[in-house]
Amino acid sequence: MPKHKLRIIPLGGLGEIGKNMMALEYGNDIVVIDAGLMFPGEELPGVDLLIPDISYLVERQKSLRGIVITHGHEDHIGALPYVLSRLSTPVYATKFTRELIRVELKQRGVKTDAKLNLVSPGSKITLGNFAIEFFSVCHSIPDCVGLIIHTPLGIVVHSGDFKIDYTPTICEATNFNQLASLGAKGVLLLLSDSTYAELPGYTPSERVVIETLDRIVSGAKGRVIVTTFASLISRVQQVFDVAVKYGRRVFIIGRSMREIVSMALKTGYLTAPPGITCRLDELKTLPHNRVMVLSTGSQGEPTSALVRMANRDPSSRIQIVPGDTVVISATPIPGNEMVVSKTTDSLFRQGANVIYDKLAQVHVHGHGSQEELKLLLSLVRPKFFVPIHGEYRHLSLHASLAQSMSIPKDNTFVLENGDVLELGRDSGEVVDRTHVGVIYVSGLVTGELDGAVLRDRKLLSRDGVVVVTIAIDSEGGKLAERPRIITRGIVDAGEGQKLIEKGRDVVLAALNHDKRRLVEPSFVDAKVKDSLSKFFYERIHRRPIIIPVVVEVGKTHKKPTS
Amino acid sequence: MPKHKLRIIPLGGLGEIGKNMMALEYGNDIVVIDAGLMFPGEELPGVDLLIPDISYLVERQKSLRGIVITHGHEDHIGALPYVLSRLSTPVYATKFTRELIRVELKQRGVKTDAKLNLVSPGSKITLGNFAIEFFSVCHSIPDCVGLIIHTPLGIVVHSGDFKIDYTPTICEATNFNQLASLGAKGVLLLLSDSTYAELPGYTPSERVVIETLDRIVSGAKGRVIVTTFASLISRVQQVFDVAVKYGRRVFIIGRSMREIVSMALKTGYLTAPPGITCRLDELKTLPHNRVMVLSTGSQGEPTSALVRMANRDPSSRIQIVPGDTVVISATPIPGNEMVVSKTTDSLFRQGANVIYDKLAQVHVHGHGSQEELKLLLSLVRPKFFVPIHGEYRHLSLHASLAQSMSIPKDNTFVLENGDVLELGRDSGEVVDRTHVGVIYVSGLVTGELDGAVLRDRKLLSRDGVVVVTIAIDSEGGKLAERPRIITRGIVDAGEGQKLIEKGRDVVLAALNHDKRRLVEPSFVDAKVKDSLSKFFYERIHRRPIIIPVVVEVGKTHKKPTS
């Protein structure tokens, strides 16, 4: 009989897309799966990225046995630089994933003594009470794995991010036999990717994209510029293949694309005949119908190669000309829709023929749709089920799918970050909710998402700021001059001047109302804030942040500073 | 031979979705079509709405003959309160549209002496050299019209917003005979809706929604809560119809839904048996399987009825309970995707079964897809073609469609706001680009979108603000005290304090470097800004707005204020 219960604690990625991180705990052993980041949208200006709050792990550092990574996407590895600078623990990852982790650590300038251990599909590691086997799954980056975790209570299967692709172009197809034999033996818990639990049917194979690409390139009279995710090596492979077929050479533009393609060629994840890529000077001499370009920028990132082309940035090494075909071989990640649309518009404006997801099947995504999720459920046949990776609606719909396949409702747990699920052999229960805040990174500042800093930024962005200077004659206890007002982000200079003059009158009147109390700074502060808040709301329906600066003048004669 | 050329000047809605407005000019006659607004996304915090810049019209007020409105959506009528408070000109609209314009004017508190004239499909008005006939088109609001504009140069057809629905539930089907006979006679110019020019095939009929709704309601054991656009009366009609069929009563929640439904019932646009709606006290006594709720909030508007239900707002008159079915009978308008997703997530969290566009066909949109656009082109057979209403890519794709139907490329004009297209009988040319800025409305403030106010707000939202107070002893020409620093939106209080102390040292050092110049305010100002900008960038990779406040102390003794 096992001594402890098994605890599952999501620290990120449940009830949201991104920053995936989960702790599995048995007795004094904690294993962490993934450590990702997420990029916020325009609702968090100035915030570069969000990472999980790991205080739960920091407090239990002694029990931490290691971090196991399922694949190399930012939403699974991007928090490692921050995590490893606070926690020293071994990391386990496949080869391609480990390369990306190294890049990530280097880019953030993190030096760590944490060991980056290599694992591969079929290999097995033991971390305390957990014995973990890896099995390959297909997704949109090479070397993805799912996990078979042997615990004293039974087997836990973690799907990683996955789709089922019977004809993958790069990754190994899922090992159904292994999963089916586990299912026959009995699996305690399945943790399965819910990202596309909304979509009925099957996700198409990566292979369908090649047909579209082939058709586009065979008909194109000019250059064909393809943008996709740099790590989507199977897509990059297809671009190389179609280039070879039609006698085009490939120019690669954008730092991350150059880096990852070069790494993938070196490590054998990508195969291409020698001389297929070309340099900038060669590009300039090639006829346009002998050129393909592979570019970053599929998400409309402001400084990416594609966006610079779209905006006719003079520093761009490629300028769009009529006759160019641009293929956006990606879909916008939620939150990026507007910037991707703007980029598409700008490319059309330059005269390009732009082909994107709405017009042709130039992209397939990397997550399983409902029938694939059901297939995994029916292979693994778990006793308990926890949908992972997704917004709440995805988790909820995935749970319904599982219930439709006879997993009892009581054995299905829709968790959110911080929930502590405790499983025995026969029953499970959410026993606690630990506080997991969200940590933002803004430049070199990190902080809690719900702190004052971001709240203030939000207010500033909506309503602007007013600085009011009150000079008080410390001897006379009266105003030494008319209050001064500086505003930013409120009204244009012209009309603003009148408003500001009125505002000065309002402050003056408010302070003069009770002159004896001018010596009390808190009185002055409150009066200024109250009177101006009211004034601005009445006049322009805005509530700017008001910062009173109270200075005593005449002071130097009593307290010289030098 | 006509004396003048025909000028077409888009003032809004071309190269963007929303705030549609276009001027047609012949000699001394200007006719304006539509006057809409648009709602900005999170990239413009604090901005309530955007409207077209009408300075072109204000400068030519004497020539302005009237504003013709195609239908009552905000993106076609929403700027009228602002336009009519600057320009007095008659407005022409159909009955339902006119009702909505009246509501709009009342809500914004605009009093105008502009006459709101009633027109109807088949009626004809003369505005200077323009004779305008109206024909009904089908869209997602009652009483939509397209325009047949007789000009001295020939006939201009304006599609309005349209789809082709052979089995509409409310609007009249498009009058093909009239358009076809025009096409046979010869049409100079077609201006046609491009919003869905990306989509191949046909837009489904409004009627397909009833099948989905019927299936949902017949299977629902609890309440069915449907949210949609208040003005989508055909959808509201379907909700009433299905409620009648299954013996449910309808509770209407949300101000705009109550107002528009009540208006539509009164004016006969909506028909329902008496007693079908119910009051709150009745709602409370009805069994849940006898209730339908019709709610605002389909776009995730923060104060809408649906969002308040989703967030368990205690002031909400309806609280979600498990067993409730929520039907989101709408798709998110671009930019609203995230808030709609969050609302959906929250409804799932409350235990509702939420059905939305990805899961079932609970919505069809109101714009024609490619085959419908081609049908209109082939009926009207225009000499010149200008795609209207859409982002640049939609216009561009619509132009390609027209060219694929043998309209010469030289006769197809992809315009953007401000372009001045001049048409003769045989050729056309963009002769000018007038400056049309975008005007934002933020509370009671309006201004140019590219002005300093919004730029400052953007900076404030990303990097925060620093107020630095420098007290200078005017007699000694030295600092009277250590510089003071107040920050907002930069760092949390704890860590921030150290940073601020350092910053004070930095300012002190910078100013002490050249003490003699402390009497020059511009010197102090520049030194403070430079030294702190550099400091904050180095320390935290942020560039806050820095506001120096320089106060001379010791002054009162020379210049008493009282």
Cβ-based contacts of B354 with chain A (< 8 Å): 393
Residue among A433, A21, A56 at smallest CA distance from A191: A21
CA–CA min distance A396, chain B (Å)? 7
A268, amino acid identity = G
Q: Is A389 a catalytic residue?
A: no
Contact assignment for A541 to B444 by CB distance below 8 Å: yes
Residues 6+ apart with CB under 8 A from A213: A226, A238, A239, A242, A327, A329, A362
Contact assignment for A561 to B478 by CB distance below 8 Å: yes
Does the ipTM exceed 0.95?
no
Contact assignment for B491 to A393 by CB distance below 8 Å: no
Cβ-based contacts of B484 with chain A (< 8 Å): 549
Cβ-based contacts of A562 with chain B (< 8 Å): 476, 478
Contact assignment for B554 to A553 by CB distance below 8 Å: yes
Coil, strand, or helix at residue A441?
Answer: strand
Q: Which residue of A has its CA nearest to B542?
A: A443
Cβ-based contacts of B492 with chain A (< 8 Å): 447-448, 451-453
Mutate to test the interface with A, among B14, B39, B551, B562 (most CBs of A within 10 A): B551
**A72/A230 Cα distance (integer angstroms):** 12
Mutate to test the interface with B, among A462, A479, A546 (most CBs of B within 10 A): A462
Cβ-based contacts of A479 with chain B (< 8 Å): 561
Residues 6+ apart with CB under 8 A from A491: A499, A540, B445, B447, B453
Q: Is A288 a catalytic residue?
A: no
Size of interface A-B (CB pairs under 8 A): 232
CA–CA min distance A246, chain B (Å)? 26
Contact assignment for B338 to A341 by CB distance below 8 Å: no
Mutate to test the interface with A, among B349, B508, B540, B556 (most CBs of A within 10 A): B556
**B285/B291 Cα distance (integer angstroms):** 10
**A14/A17 Cα distance (integer angstroms):** 7
Bridge partners (DSSP) of residue B492 are none
Contact assignment for A547 to B471 by CB distance below 8 Å: no
Positive or negative, the Cα torsion across A270, A275, A281, A287? negative
Residue among B253, B363, B235, B261 at smallest CA distance from B297: B253
- Give the active site residue among B29, B143, B165, B193: B193
Mutate to test the interface with B, among A331, A441, A465 (most CBs of B within 10 A): A465
Q: Which residue of A has its CA nearest to B196?
A: A358
Contact assignment for A461 to B461 by CB distance below 8 Å: yes
CA A186 and chain centroid, separation? 35
Coil, strand, or helix at residue B552?
Answer: strand
Cβ-based contacts of A337 with chain B (< 8 Å): 334-335, 337
Contact assignment for B338 to A456 by CB distance below 8 Å: no
Minimal Cβ distance to B489: which of A393, A460, A539 = A460
B142, amino acid identity = P
Cβ-based contacts of B486 with chain A (< 8 Å): 547, 549
Cβ-based contacts of B344 with chain A (< 8 Å): 393
Coil, strand, or helix at residue A244?
Answer: helix
Cβ-based contacts of A551 with chain B (< 8 Å): 469, 471, 551, 553
> In the 3-class helix/strand/coil scheme, how is B54-65 assigned residue by residue?
CHHHHHCHHHEE
Minimal Cβ distance to B392: which of A348, A444, A490 = A348
- Give the active site residue among A73, A367, A389, A398: A367
**A277/A293 Cα distance (integer angstroms):** 9
- Give the active site residue among A34, A75, A165, A193: A193
Contact assignment for B542 to A451 by CB distance below 8 Å: no
Q: Which residue of A has its CA nearest to B47?
A: A462
CA–CA min distance A337, chain B (Å)? 8
- Number of Cβ within a 10 Å radius of residue A442: 26
Contact assignment for B561 to A473 by CB distance below 8 Å: yes
* pLDDT in single tens digits along all 562 residues of chain A: 789 999 999 999 999 999 999 999 999 999 999 999 999 877 888 899 999 999 999 999 999 999 999 999 999 999 999 999 999 999 999 999 999 999 999 988 888 888 999 999 999 999 999 999 999 999 999 999 999 999 999 999 999 999 998 888 777 777 788 899 999 999 999 999 999 999 999 999 999 999 999 999 999 999 999 999 999 999 999 999 999 999 999 999 999 999 999 999 999 999 999 999 999 999 999 999 999 999 999 999 999 999 999 999 999 999 999 999 999 999 998 888 889 999 999 999 999 999 999 999 999 999 999 999 999 999 999 999 999 999 999 999 999 999 999 999 999 999 999 999 999 999 999 999 998 888 999 888 888 887 889 999 999 999 999 999 999 887 767 888 999 999 999 988 777 889 999 999 999 999 988 777 888 888 999 999 999 999 999 999 999 999 999 998 875 444 433 3
CB A74 within 8 A of CB A37: yes
Minimal Cβ distance to B489: which of A41, A393, A457 = A457
Contact assignment for B553 to A549 by CB distance below 8 Å: no
CB B160 within 8 A of CB B33: no
**B381/B383 Cα distance (integer angstroms):** 7
Minimal Cβ distance to B555: which of A391, A458, A480 = A480
Coil, strand, or helix at residue A491?
Answer: coil
Minimal Cβ distance to B489: which of A391, A453, A471 = A453
Mutate to test the interface with B, among A324, A348, A409 (most CBs of B within 10 A): A348
- Number of Cβ within a 10 Å radius of residue B268: 9
Minimal Cβ distance to A393: which of B348, B479, B556 = B348
Residues 6+ apart with CB under 8 A from A286: A249, A278
Minimal Cβ distance to B337: which of A337, A349, A358 = A337
**A381/A180 Cα distance (integer angstroms):** 9
* pLDDT in single tens digits along all 562 residues of chain B: 789 999 999 999 999 999 999 999 999 999 999 999 999 877 888 899 999 999 999 999 999 999 999 999 999 999 999 999 999 999 999 999 999 999 999 998 888 888 999 999 999 999 999 999 999 999 999 999 999 999 999 999 999 999 998 888 777 777 788 899 999 999 999 999 999 999 999 999 999 999 999 999 999 999 999 999 999 999 999 999 999 999 999 999 999 999 999 999 999 999 999 999 999 999 999 999 999 999 999 999 999 999 999 999 999 999 999 999 999 999 998 888 889 999 999 999 999 999 999 999 999 999 999 999 999 999 999 999 999 999 999 999 999 999 999 999 999 999 999 999 999 999 999 999 998 888 999 888 888 887 889 999 999 999 999 999 999 887 767 888 999 999 999 988 777 889 999 999 999 999 988 777 888 888 899 999 999 999 999 999 999 999 999 998 875 444 433 3
Coil, strand, or helix at residue B86?
Answer: coil
CA atoms within 13 A on the CB side of A399: 26
**A303/A308 Cα distance (integer angstroms):** 7
- Identify the residue whose tokens are 């709101």: B116
CA–CA min distance A439, chain B (Å)? 12
- Number of Cβ within a 10 Å radius of residue B91: 24
Minimal Cβ distance to B457: which of A15, A354, A461 = A461
CB B165 within 8 A of CB B171: yes
